[in-house]
């Protein structure tokens, strides 16, 4: 076993983790940053589509941005965190420029900004633009310059407690994905930043975020929060696509089986420029009412549109040419493509580890940031392209707090028995090479979670059925997961994490007996501000089960409060207005 | 779907594709050429193709197996 000592270990090398590592190192801590892939090319940040929705004090209206964030958050935001985010995001943008991230600028030196999804003429929310892959390359260099030791290709699997204080975390155990060698990081503080749980969904470039931090935290005794809330994406049914902002901007339309453009019916203000979950809900309604399948229609594109599309979305264009939908010189061969919603778990916003204003989880010595945290600034939803700014501010706070805390901790003493037991449990799949294939478990979880009436138009009955199936997989298949080598061990543990996160998600969604944003329940169609201005907390219970509780949101002392006690969810209200029986 | 082909005539054996693959799909053989080892885990992210200094790698987004869809 490789044993490495440090003050602060950061697990996960995306935007949140690299920020946490740099800030902890700048605060004087000896920092190790660990990633199961290669820092600089790992995590969702590598595939960021160039949009960074940062509030710029000199240019933007604070009230507009704050109001919009709370509106999208459906009053589930931690508004103290939201204020802290807006107060510090300008410093983070300056940090990024100092590290070397290039943002698009105008000739006069101001930021060149565009309006993206969720922006309207009345309420424009403008985003900064950066060159996608460069961002994370720069962050790796910033880590190296700050003296952070980077350990690539090590998957973190479990947390290790203080020998004398079982409520405090003092390290992480993992293994090398190629050699299989176990790694123990002994540390005074741990920051979890491995991102979200994306359920290896039918969407581009997120198969590597598998809730590793959520499961590590939960199993060690930390609380998850907001796990009932999820992000939905929209994609081609044939293969995973991205670039909806640009595709919609160039005039592609959503149409149903009858050829009708349906988005404006459900969402008159934003129509096809609405936030993703609103369109996802509209799509599910159309299917529910018998007007599926649905299409995204590029037929109106001229060769000039395709030329711009090819320039801004080269990989997408390449896929379309490969599939024969368009020729290299921009002649459209097949414009109407079958289009679907995709559940992408808590990528960008949605559930994760609960943290306070200092980035502390409910366990001493354990910190979280970015998608690994519950997204305190987002609430139910975030702005589109808001995940990386939120990762920057939460990562910074978590790194600085962890460094300050580590400075107050004396020698680290660990329990050898706990480490041996965790190392034995971690390698369990290697001991039954004839067991259950992780690919089977991934498909089984997806079959349970992905039907639209489980994650978009939710009901007690359908979610109970899905939960029963997930618990069956947990009992029957997870203990038999197989691995024949270290690579396989990673994918077996990822499959296990998918099962555990799916159980937490459905359990929380059943518990919240109201509708709110993307949590849309046909059996509880109202937003219930009287009873549900609450955070749902999930902790580990006896016998590997889950214990749920709620925390009241201190709405009375927040600047923004809802104006009505109860109201019908907007998507359901729109459908009823159209005469639909729902 | 996934990474389809690595052209040995063009490959410089620099190993960068193996280092950066987020899904650990590629490994090196005894002659240090990259080989497609765990194709089932490829997510068609195109990083290997995009960052290959010799344009030796081909990736496809097309899928042989229909993904699990919401309807």
Interval A52-85: pLDDT, tens: 899 999 999 999 999 999 999 999 999 999 999 9
Among A241, A27, A453, A507, which Cα is nearest to B44's?
A241
Contact present, A450 and B70 (Cβ < 8 Å): yes
**A11 Cα distance to chain centroid:** 16
Q: Helix, strand, or coil here: A534?
A: strand
Strand segments (E) across A177-313: 182-192, 224-225, 232-236, 253-255, 295-297
- Structure token digits, residue A139: 């962050």
Q: Touching check for B46 and chain A: CB below 8 Å? A: yes
Rounded percentage of chain B residues whose pLDDT exceeds 90:
80
Per-residue pLDDT at A314: 79
* Distance (Å) from the alpha carbon of B5 to chain A's nearest alpha carbon: 15
Residue A267's pLDDT band, with cuts at 50, 70 and 90, is confident
Q: CB count, 10 Å around CB of A293? A: 15
DSSP string, A494-511: HHHHHHHHHHHHHHHHHH
Give me the pLDDT at residue A322, please: 86
Q: Is the pLDDT of residue A509 over 90?
A: yes
Average pLDDT over residues A273-277: 79
State yes or no: pLDDT of A146 exceeds 90: yes
Lowest model confidence (mean pLDDT) among A20-29, A112-121, A323-332, B58-67: A112-121
How many contacts does A have with B, using Cβ atoms within 8 A?
94
Number of C-beta neighbours around residue A273 at 10 A: 20
Dist CA A52 CA A493 (whole Å): 32
Chain B closest-CA separation from residue A287 CA (Å): 8
**pLDDT greater at residue B66 or residue A536:** A536
- Beta strands A546-552; A534-540: pairing state: antiparallel
User: By CB neighbour count within 10 A (0-12 exposed, 13-18 middle, 19+ buried), where does A331 fall?
Assistant: exposed
Average model confidence (pLDDT) across chain A: 94
Residue B38: which pLDDT band, with cuts at 50, 70 and 90?
A: very high
Banded pLDDT at A42 (limits 50, 70, 90): confident
Higher pLDDT, B7 or B61: B7
Whether residues B61 and A319 touch (CB distance < 8 A) is answered with yes
Per-residue pLDDT averaged across A307-327, rounded? 86
> What pLDDT does residue A318 have?
83
Q: Which of A205, A240, A443 sits opposite B68 (nearest CB)?
A: A443
Inter-chain contact B24–A178, Cβ cutoff 8 Å?
Answer: yes
For the segment A279-292, the average pLDDT, to the nearest whole number, is 95
Helix (H, G, I), strand (E, B) or coil at A458: strand
**Assembly ipTM:** 0.97
Contact A292 B71 (CB under 8 A): yes
Q: Which pLDDT belongs to residue A76? A: 97
Percent of chain A scoring above 70 in pLDDT: 99
* Interacting residues of A268 by C-beta distance below 8 A, sequence separation 6+: none
| The pairing of beta strand A457-458 with beta strand A520-521 | parallel
Give SS3 for A122.
Answer: coil
In the sheet that A224-225 helps form, which strands lie side by side, from edge to edge?
A352-353, A224-225, A534-540, A546-552
Mean pLDDT of A471-498: 98
């Amino acid at each position: 076993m490789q044993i490495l000592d440090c003050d602060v270990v950061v697990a996960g090398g995306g935007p949140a983790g690299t920020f946490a590592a740099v800030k902890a190192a700048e605060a004087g801590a000896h920092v190790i940053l660990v990633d199961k892939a290669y820092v600089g090319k790992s995590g969702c940040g590598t595939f960021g589509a160039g949009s960074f929705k940062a509030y710029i004090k000199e240019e933007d209206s604070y009230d507009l941005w704050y109001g919009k964030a709370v509106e999208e958050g459906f009053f589930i935001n931690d508004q103290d965190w939201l204020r802290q985010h807006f107060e510090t995001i300008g410093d983070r943008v300056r940090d990024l420029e100092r590290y070397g991230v290039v943002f698009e600028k105008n000739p006069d030196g101001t930021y060149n900004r565009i309006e993206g999804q969720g922006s309207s003429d009345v309420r424009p929310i403008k985003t900064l633009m950066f060159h996608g892959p460069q961002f994370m390359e720069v962050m790796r260099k910033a880590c190296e310059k700050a003296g952070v030791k980077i350990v690539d290709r090590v998957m973190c699997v479990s947390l290790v407690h203080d020998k004398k204080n079982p409520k405090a975390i003092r390290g992480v155990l993992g293994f090398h994905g190629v050699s299989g060698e176990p790694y123990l990081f002994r540390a005074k503080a741990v920051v979890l930043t491995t991102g979200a749980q994306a359920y290896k969904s039918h969407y581009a470039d997120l198969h590597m975020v598998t809730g590793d931090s959520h499961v590590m935290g939960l199993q060690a005794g930390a609380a998850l929060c907001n796990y009932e809330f999820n992000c939905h994406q929209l994609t081609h049914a044939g293969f995973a696509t991205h670039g909806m902002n640009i595709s919609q901007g160039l005039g592609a339309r959503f149409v149903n089986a009858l050829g009708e453009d349906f988005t404006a019916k459900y969402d008159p203000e934003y129509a096809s420029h609405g936030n993703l979950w609103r369109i996802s809900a509209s799509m599910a309604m159309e299917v529910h009412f018998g007007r599926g399948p649905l299409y995204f229609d590029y037929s109106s594109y001229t060769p000039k549109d395709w030329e711009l599309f090819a320039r801004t979305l080269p990989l997408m264009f390449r896929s379309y040419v490969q599939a024969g939908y368009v020729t290299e010189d921009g002649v459209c061969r097949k414009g109407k493509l079958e289009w679907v919603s995709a559940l992408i778990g808590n990528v960008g916003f949605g559930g994760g580890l609960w943290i306070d204003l200092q980035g502390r989880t409910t366990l001493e010595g354990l910190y979280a940031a970015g998608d690994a945290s519950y997204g305190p600034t987002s609430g139910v939803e975030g702005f589109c392209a808001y995940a990386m700014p939120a990762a920057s501010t939460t990562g910074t706070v978590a790194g600085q707090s962890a460094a300050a805390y580590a400075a107050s901790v004396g020698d680290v003493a660990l329990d050898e028995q706990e480490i041996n037991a965790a190392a034995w449990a971690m390698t369990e799949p290697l001991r039954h090479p004839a067991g259950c294939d992780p690919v089977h478990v991934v498909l089984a979880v997806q079959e349970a979670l992905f039907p639209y009436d489980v994650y978009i138009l939710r009901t007690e009955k359908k979610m109970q059925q899905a939960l029963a199936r997930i618990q069956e997989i947990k009992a029957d298949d997870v203990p038999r997961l197989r691995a024949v080598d270290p690579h396989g061990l990673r994918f077996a543990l990822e499959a296990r994490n998918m099962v555990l996160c799916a159980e937490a998600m459905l359990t929380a969604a059943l518990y919240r007996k109201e509708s709110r944003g993307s949590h849309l329940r046909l059996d509880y169609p109202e937003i219930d501000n009287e009873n549900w201005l609450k955070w749902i907390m999930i902790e580990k219970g006896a016998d590997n089960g889950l214990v749920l509780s709620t925390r009241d949101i201190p709405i009375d002392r927040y600047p923004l409060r809802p104006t009505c006690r109860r109201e019908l969810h907007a998507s359901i209200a729109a459908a009823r207005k159209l005469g639909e029986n729902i | 779907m996934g990474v389809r082909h690595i052209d040995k005539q063009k490959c410089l054996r620099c190993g960068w594709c193996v280092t950066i693959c987020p899904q650990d799909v590629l490994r090196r053989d005894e002659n240090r050429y990259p080989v497609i080892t765990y194709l089932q885990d490829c997510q068609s992210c195109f990083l290997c193709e995009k960052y290959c200094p010799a344009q030796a790698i081909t990736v496809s987004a097309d899928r042989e197996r229909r993904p699990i869809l919401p309807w």
